[in-house]
Amino acid sequence: MNLLRSILAAVVCVFALAAGTTSLSAQQPEETSKGRTETAVFAGGCFWCVEADLEKLDGVGDVISGYSGGDLQNPTYENHDGHIEVVEAPFDPDVISYRELTDYFLRHIDVLDDGGQFCDRGYTYTTAIFYNNEDQRKDAEAAISAAEAELGKSVVTPVRALDKFWIAEGYHQDYYKRNKLRYRYYRTSCGRDRRVKAVWGKHKK
């Protein structure tokens, strides 16, 4: 299924190059309101899917797909050794708290799988919560503890300090909006929603 994602991404890349590249400034997180905006960085397997899930929430702005966790400078989709796929989600804490956002994120991934996510296998697709400050670290750890209590099982998703977020190529941004049929085929074929339901069942929020 990694091959399927690569093929879909390659097709989109060709069209993106033909139409012109998206500027970096156009891909930066937008303000969610006139108030303060904070950011959350999550790794939940395929960043197309995590982006789609988080953008459903009130108080969350334009979610950006990218890479983090490794030492390689300027990673790309073809070469991001040591990094994992992540998203950066700007949010208005007056509308949704970091803890609420983290609880939601955990319930949309397989927190029991340390070898990837769903059909996507390997380190690139493993899960993580990257915190920006101590408050986020404490909230993330509390969310993990609450999830373990609900499931009665150990959550393998680590809580890690964010070093640097690298934005992914333009053709990955808003993939679920711009390539609806390809995205839906991939998500269904990968079994993401079926597995999340199996893991969380009545606990899913």
**Helix residue ranges per DSSP H, the chain:** 2-19, 24-27, 47-54, 98-106, 134-151, 175-178, 180-190, 192-200
Active site residue 46: yes
Active site residue: 46, 49, 119, 190, which one?
Answer: 46
Residue 130: CA atoms inside 13 Å, Cβ hemisphere, count? 24
Backbone angles phi, psi at 90, to 5 degrees: -80, 140
Distance CA 108, CA 196 (A): 6
Contact 132, 162 (CB under 8 A): yes
Query: Is 18 strand, coil or helix?
Result: helix
The contacts of residue 26 (CB under 8 Å, 6+ apart) are: none
Known catalytic residues?
Answer: 46
